[in-house]
Amino acid sequence: MDTTQLFSLKGRSALITGGSRGIGRMIAEGFLAQGARVYISARKAAACDQTAKELSAFGHCVSLPADVSTLEGAQALVAAYAKHEDSLDILVNNAGAAWGAPYDEFPESGWDKVVDLNLKAPFFLTQALTPMLKKAATDHLSKVINIASIDGISVNPQETYSYAASKAGLIQLTRRMALRLAQDRIVVSAIAPGAFASDMNKDARDHGDEVKGRIPAGRIGTPEDMAGAAIYLASRAGDYVMGSTLVVDGGVTHAR
């Protein structure tokens, strides 16, 4: 048994949606460190371009701005990526949104925005990229990693109805897609993050000392925690993990 290359991504290409900040950026930097060519996408072009410029210090990183919440946006991202690569080894469906409002006032716009990006986009973007994922699956397996959330596993006190529903749906979608795509040598799995500092999780970012008091590990997640989980699933090390969701939360779901 040779374990020296188990976690290597050398020579592989990766596309990460929502890659300009937060968890997406953490994963992008981790993939670059393992030798991958990384393409990041985000709705805001300036932020995406700036992050790609910064991450280029660690390896090949290209900005491909797009809004994947619509079918047209997803197809535009596929076309932009195809100008650089003719196959895709790793797809990380990370782009996401949240919306909080009291039950009696929760708006349809808050439902549609969140569900379209968190649940619909991963399915249709993966569908559109499946030919390129299949092409890459030669001497190794291609990977799709969906970024879910612990809010799709256990209930928190916040009234984020569409977010919780979309993430629970994404976990089940991961299982269903994994069964179908295994025949094409494409492994589908997911990560359910807990508290990581980001623009979406402002509590963890701005009130880390308070938040960590509710986490058995005694701290919020670090970029290395997230990068390590994603590298594991994306590399040879994670080849036999199909349809499962890896919970990376410092134990908080067990303490709720």
Strands 90-93, 142-147: parallel, antiparallel or unpaired by DSSP? parallel
> Does the active-site annotation cover 240?
no
Q: What whole-number distance in Å separates Cα of residue 207 and Cα of residue 227?
A: 22
Q: What whole-number distance in Å separates Cα of residue 81 and Cα of residue 76?
A: 9
Helix ranges (DSSP H) in the chain:
22-33, 45-55, 71-82, 108-115, 121-136, 161-181, 202-206, 208-211, 223-234, 252-255
Q: Enter the tokens of residue 149.
A: 């959330």
C-alpha to C-alpha distances, 81 to 77, 165, 240, 252, nearest whole angstrom: 6, 30, 28, 37
Contact 187, 241 (CB under 8 A): yes
3-state secondary structure of 146: strand
Radius of gyration of the chain (CA): 17
Of these residues, 39, 81, 163, 232, which one is catalytic? 163
- Which residue, chain included where needed, has tokens 């290597």? 8
Q: Which residues are catalytic?
A: 163
